[in-house]
Chain A
């Protein structure tokens, strides 16, 4: 991580500089086809596979981040159903092998080796934490197996791996959020996060934007994943009396932190924001987070045909309640796989990874297909400032347009 907090990210881009991302989107509009569902329809597919396309799905379905893993699996299952309903990949059905990695990097490594060496998968999708992703990236690079990461925020040396990032980056989550919060509430920030790689990186990026906004960080607090009691951290926050609390407390800890912040009188009232405020956490957090602002790339309010279809399918299968962001991402991951395989004209792993550079696919997020940047293997997403409503709806209060992922080019 560099001193400016931006580490692997490219130079700060002004909003005007977002034109490149916007142009990608505009190009996508021109090429968009009518959508029959949220499953992608890539370019015409002359290539016909000779066997089912095999994907290894790895997720932490037990352990401290199991809720996110389950959410990812739910979205992924919907995506598999949807893509098989429109002919699969290269005219062949998608076949899935899946395994729990418990959010333990060593287990993730074992699972991924098994996928590659025993199951002979063509592609790997999944994992949640940055520690798992690091292991997945190292192993898959050695075997030239493409891997799609779905969770937000983490960066890794994509240029030297065979991984792509479908989640948004910390840069895109924070580049608009920090100045918005600083302008609205004041320039004194406290940072708090779970103590592992991603929260450090996320808050490190946040520090860069805080400095750029002319604001200051008065305290920075980390606690291990699985922390039960947050009272000492909350006391430190109260003592610092910040204008804004930027939080990267994740998993079940996010709920414990928010519930305890409420019982200690910090919430409602404090201006909490950050990746702690996930839609799937709303039911157990309850009204403590009502009225808070956050930047996200998904809201059920997004008015696209693909989103209407996706929301209906999700709620029919899993019932009412907020739709987790990682579940949304998982639902369209295979659209990028389809686009890449059919563009490559082969199942060859290396060729498919090459074809992922610049692959375009439909998503529920916009009517136009989105592009996986050839230069940094991440996506410039349309982003929104949302305010959390009673009941858990993330109401869009400001459209930010396409925000760059901000990763360095290879």
Chain B
């Protein structure tokens, strides 16, 4: 029985952190129409920020890292992306790729490529009978679920969220209604960047911190976004859960390499069959092509 609890907890741990990254990616893709391939590098910034701030209390370091993410996002949007919005898909893709490269090289120059490590702020495990699971992972999973719930409530239950969704659906129409596109773009990119940075900060104590550490999150988070309906903000979260569920089941029974190959094969097939993605909304069940 403890093996099943282990699989369940592993799934929740990775699915929640992946969902945070995918939500951020979906936000950028939905609002700015940019495929942000620097997403993994933004996670890396969060991890290094926590490394720099490792002597501070963990919650304070996390808060400061989030602020770093906001500032970085604002700087990138104002300094780089706003100049290429109207230059087409390929240009924005290359711009974000360039941003990622610069961030990686900057990290290598400042910290060297040698691995850095952080100890989790919560050591030990929660033990229930024969089952034990790291306390830190459970705490982060719960925290991220609460954060994502709050973000979804903000998006779907507030006027701010209404304006955001209107802007995602039709930016020109929203502008006519008084929603400033430039301000919205900057704010959305800053928040999305801060969320990716936060995700990196949260996983940092479990990984080796290197300039390329975020790359392993890139492919699954992209798939999570791509299998969701375009423009949906809840979709990437559901997509992340779906991707990680399949992967967790596969790797419980198969070699990790084989599990990854099958997962990405299945996802590629799914996207080929259903390029418009799936609407995860309960209300729209049966009308997912809308």
Whether A and B are associated in the same complex: the answer reads yes
Residues of chain B within 8 A of A227, CB atoms compared = 216, 256
Stretch at the interface among B184-192, B200-208, B269-277: B200-208
A66, B212: Cα distance in complex, Å = 9
Given A222-B255, A232-B251, verify A252-B208 contact (CB < 8 Å). yes
Contact B113 A263 (CB under 8 A): no
Residues of chain A within 8 A of B117, CB atoms compared = 255, 259, 283-286
* Max count, chain A CB within 10 A of own CB: residue among B114, B132, B213, B257: B114
Interface residues of B in 234-270 (CB under 8 A from A): 248, 251-252, 255-257, 260
A255, B119: Cα distance in complex, Å = 12
Select which of A63, A66, A226, A263 is within 8 A of B216 by beta carbon. Answer: A226
Contact A263 B256 (CB under 8 A): no
Residues of chain B within 8 A of A235, CB atoms compared = 3, 6-7, 10
Contact with A along B189-229 (1 / 0, CB 8 A): 00000000000000101111111110111000000000000
Contact A265 B13 (CB under 8 A): no
* Max count, chain A CB within 10 A of own CB: residue among B14, B123, B209, B210: B210
Contact B203 A62 (CB under 8 A): no
Given A226-B215, A263-B136, verify A195-B256 contact (CB < 8 Å). yes
Contact B115 A281 (CB under 8 A): yes
Is A61 close to B, CB under 8 A? Answer: yes
What is the minimal beta-carbon distance from B195 to any residue of chain A, in angstroms? 18
Given A222-B257, A223-B256, verify A256-B207 contact (CB < 8 Å). yes
Quick one: closest A residue to B261, CB to CB?
A: A224
Residues of chain A within 8 A of B123, CB atoms compared = 263
What is the minimal beta-carbon distance from A356 to any residue of chain B, in angstroms? 30
Residues of chain B within 8 A of A71, CB atoms compared = 114
Select which of A223, A256, A265 is within 8 A of B208 by beta carbon. Answer: A256
Contact B114 A224 (CB under 8 A): no
Contact A229 B113 (CB under 8 A): no
Residues of chain B within 8 A of A255, CB atoms compared = 115, 117, 207-208
Residues of chain A within 8 A of B125, CB atoms compared = 263-265
A254, B207: Cα distance in complex, Å = 9
Contact A229 B14 (CB under 8 A): yes
Instruction: Count residues of A near B (Cβ-Cβ below 8 Å).
Output: 39
Is A52 close to B, CB under 8 A? Answer: no
Is B134 close to A, CB under 8 A? Answer: yes
Select which of A66, A226, A284 is within 8 A of B209 by beta carbon. Answer: A284
Contact A232 B137 (CB under 8 A): no
* Max count, chain A CB within 10 A of own CB: residue among B6, B117, B205: B117
Select which of A232, A233, A259, A285 is within 8 A of B206 by beta carbon. Answer: A259
Contact A62 B210 (CB under 8 A): no
* Max count, chain B CB within 10 A of own CB: residue among A62, A228, A235, A239: A228
A71, B114: Cα distance in complex, Å = 8
Contact B108 A66 (CB under 8 A): yes
Is A151 close to B, CB under 8 A? Answer: no
Contact with B along A196-228 (1 / 0, CB 8 A): 000000000000000000000000011110111
Residues of chain A within 8 A of B6, CB atoms compared = 231, 235
Is A260 close to B, CB under 8 A? Answer: yes
Is A280 close to B, CB under 8 A? Answer: yes
Quick one: closest B residue to A227, CB to CB?
A: B256
Is B112 close to A, CB under 8 A? Answer: yes
What is the minimal beta-carbon distance from A206 to any residue of chain B, in angstroms? 18
Quick one: closest A residue to B51, CB to CB?
A: A284
Is B120 close to A, CB under 8 A? Answer: yes
Given A67-B210, A286-B119, verify A265-B132 contact (CB < 8 Å). yes
Interface residues of B in 1-26 (CB under 8 A from A): 3, 6-7, 10, 13-14
Interface residues of A in 265-312 (CB under 8 A from B): 265, 280-281, 283-286
Interface residues of B in 62-114 (CB under 8 A from A): 104, 108, 112-114
Select which of A70, A256, A283 is within 8 A of B113 by beta carbon. Answer: A70
Known: A67-B210, A284-B117. 7 other contacts (CB 8 A): A61-B113, A224-B257, A235-B3, A256-B207, A280-B114, A284-B115, A286-B119
26 A-B contacts (beta carbon < 8 Å):
A62-B108, A62-B113, A63-B212, A66-B211, A67-B114, A70-B113, A221-B256, A222-B256, A226-B212, A228-B207, A228-B216, A229-B14, A231-B6, A235-B10, A252-B210, A252-B212, A254-B208, A255-B115, A255-B117, A255-B207, A256-B208, A259-B205, A263-B123, A263-B137, A263-B206, A280-B114
